[in-house]
Each structure stands twice: as structure tokens, then as C-alpha cells.
Amino acid sequence: TSGTITCDVTEVTLTATSTTPDVTFSWEGFTAGENPVNVSSGGEYSVTATNTTTGCISQQTVTVKNERNRPDIQTSVNGAITCINRQVILTATSTTPNVTFTWDGFPNGENPIEVNYGGQYVVTAINTLTGCSNQKVVFVETERTRPDLDVFADGAITCINRQVTLTATSTTPNVTFTWDGFPDGENPIEVNYGGQYVVTATNTLNGCTKQKIIEVETERTRPDLQATADGVISCDKTEVTLTASSMTPNVSFTWEGFTAGQNPVEVQFSGQYVVTATNTLNGCTSQQTVIVTADRTKPELQAATSGTITCDVTEVTLTATSITPDVTFSWEGFTAGENPVSVSSEGEYIVTATNTITGCTSQQTVLVTADRTKPELQAAASGTITCDVTEVTLTATSMTPDVTFSWEGFTAGENPVSVSSEGEYIVTATNAVTGCTSQQTVLVTADRTKPE
């Protein structure tokens, strides 16, 4: 008999038989008389049958087939594992008939198979007739590399730049960009508000994405601004300086009505002055109004004399006063600031009141008068002393008011007076108001001549 060596059948038995009695068999390569014999290789095997009685022989060749050829195997993968294709199909095929396939890790005979991960997958092809098998390793690629992504803004939202451009870039080829809230593929984009903006980069080949957030800054802070005037416009100060300052860096100032950037500025009039501070980096501005006031009010002034220069009052006091605060006085011809002053001559005296805060002045003239007029005086005797008239009366009179009389030798104020002796009698008239005096002498005569 013959047989076929396969991967399953690794040994066949060769058996020689004969209907002739007394026959022995001898297989080439085996011990004489051994029958049947087992062989494990294909090829031709010769057996000799010997009639032990006659010595006659017969020979026959048996062919043992060798069927150990491995089945051919082809594999295919319908793609790579990507962010889009999360599953791929592995397929094994063979041109060898009667072949079944087994993928490691999968049920026997399942082909094609679906896998979710990259890596090596082993398939075994088995010839169901011979049991011979062949293996092949299939490598499933994983292409889940995220695209490179960079984003940048061309500035911040400021009072000048009310819109900024956001741009996404990638060194990865075949990438599209989508900004949240904008149409797909629009890049760069322009935004008007600060905040966070999200962009997604998508690799169009593998579907993998990468996101990035960019913060758009808003720099609209107004600059700090202080503006002051260095005083009040007054009679002394005809011009004040307006100065603007800021603790914010990079600030320029513009006063309305003046050249841009001029600071400080000088003004000569009261009113409102507006200054604008501009941050040169973000263009934001602040404004402030400075009110310049003027005080040119002349100080109130009262000036008076203490009286009239007379024969009694040889000196009067001139006094200046004011209800205006911070006022000094200066009398012409006197030391500045001397007040009151004393004068002994009639005439006009000028005083100047100066407000030490504003420098404004007021003047007033005080007229000092003098009354040194002697009182009018009339004095007479009532007659002549005679032998009959031993005493005459002396009487002083005056048309000037407030006059008192004093006769020498008599009590002051006594008038009229009586005298009994001839002679000169002096009377003094005194103006009680001015102290001015007049004198007059009255001659008293006597006639005591005896008749002849």
C-alpha cells in the first residue's frame, strides 16, 4: 500500500501482501522480513517478495507522496487607526484551496476581523487537507498624532485698537482651524472684546485635533489725572500757572486752547480750563476741569482824624481801619505800615490800604483842619472914677461862642469886675473849644479935681 505524508500525517505504513504461500518480504532500507514498515518521508520505496520454497522473487515500487507545502497567505489592512477611523479591518486570503484562517486572539475561522488598536496582529492559514499552516504578521499603524498649534494676537484691545486679529498657525500639513463662535475654517479672525478665545486645529488626514485658548487682554484703563492752579488771579498776580500731572506712565497732556503737549500753561483770566490726559500706549483719556478764580476786590477802607488842630490841640491822630482781613496801611510821608499816625499841620493826608493776599489797594484822603482863630473881644469901663463915683465896672464881651473871660488881678472867669483905682486893666478872652485867646486893655481914668 502507499500513502501521503502531510503535516498532519507524518508517517505512513507500507504493507506488502501476497496470495502466494511461503512468501517473505524485504523493504529496501529496512530489516529483511520486516513488514509492514513505517516511513516519514515521501519517495519511492521498493519491496521484494521471496518464495521461500522456490526462491523465486517479485519486486514492486510504492510511491509515497509528500504533501507538506505551506499554504500561501496574503493579508490586507483597509487603513490606519486614526482619530476618525477608530477601527480597521484585517483580511487574510490564500490562493491555496481548502484553507482556513485563525487570527490570534480571535475565534478560529473568523476572517476578516476588526481591530481598534494599532500593533502586530498574527494570522495563521491552515490547509484543512494537509494540516499545513503558514503565519503572517500584520502591522496596524496608529496615526493619532495631534497637529502642532500656535496662536497669537496682534495686540490688546485698547482705546485706540478697538479690534485685534487672532491667528492660528501650524507646522503640521493638512490642518484646518476653527475658532469657537466663528465659521469653520475662518482664520485669522478679528475680535472686538477681551476674554478667552478657543481655536481647534484639525488634521484633515487623520481627524486628530488640538485646542488652544488665547487670552485677549483689554487695556482701557484711563490715566490718573490731577490738575491744579497755583493761585488766584489778583491785583498782584496777573497770571496763574495751570499744571497737570499723572501717576500713570506714558501720559501726555493737552489744555483746551493751547498747543497739544504744552504743560504747564499760563492764563490771565478767570474761568474754567479743561485738560485732557492721554495714555500714549492705549489711547485712553481722562479729563479734568480747573476753575481759575479772580479776586481784584479793593479792600474796604475807613480813615479819620481824631479832631481839629487848635490852639490847645497842636497834634491830631489819623487812623485807618478796614473790615477786610489781611490789610496793611501806609500813610504818605510816614513809614509803611505805621498806623495810626500823628500830624500837627492841617492839610490833606492820603492813606493806602493794601490787601496782602491779593495786592489790591484802596486810597482815601483825610482832610485835617485847623482852628486857631482868636475870639472876638470887647472890653469897656462903665465910666470914670470921680469923687462921687468911687468904683467903676469893667465888662468884657464877645460875639464868639464858648468864650470865658479872665481879668488880671481877679478870679478867673469873674466878669464884670469892679475897680476903684484908675489905671490899665487887662482882660483875656479864651475860646473854651479851641483854647485860643484875645487880650484887651481897658484904661480906667479918674477925675477928682476939686473945683476952683
Cα–Cα distance measured from residue 323 to residue 355, given in angstroms and rounded to the nearest whole number: 11
Residue 117 pLDDT > 90, yes or no?
yes
Residue 339 pLDDT > 90, yes or no?
yes
Averaged pLDDT of the chain = 95
- Integer angstrom CA distances of residue 268 from 43, 82, 244, 363: 132, 81, 17, 25
Exposed, middle or buried, 136 (CB in 10 Å: 0-12/13-18/19+)? middle
Provide mean pLDDT across the span 22-31.
94
Provide mean pLDDT across the span 192-221.
96
For 90, phi then psi, to 5°, come to: -105, 130
Q: In this predicted structure, what is the pLDDT of residue 1?
A: 58
pLDDT tens per residue, range 296-333: 999 999 999 999 999 999 999 999 999 999 999 999 99
- Integer angstrom CA distances of residue 133 from 4, 73, 96, 126, 371: 17, 10, 11, 4, 161
Give bridge partners of residue 273 from the DSSP assignment.
Answer: 290
63-91 burial: b if 16+ Cβ within 10 Å, else e: ebeebbebbebebebeebbbbeeeebebe
CA angle 383/386/389 to nearest 5° reads 65
Are the beta carbons of 198 and 218 closer than 8 angstroms? no
- Integer angstrom CA distances of residue 257 from 244, 262, 273: 15, 10, 9
Q: Is residue 3 very low, low, confident or very high in pLDDT (cuts 50, 70, 90)? A: confident
Residue 350 pLDDT > 90, yes or no?
yes
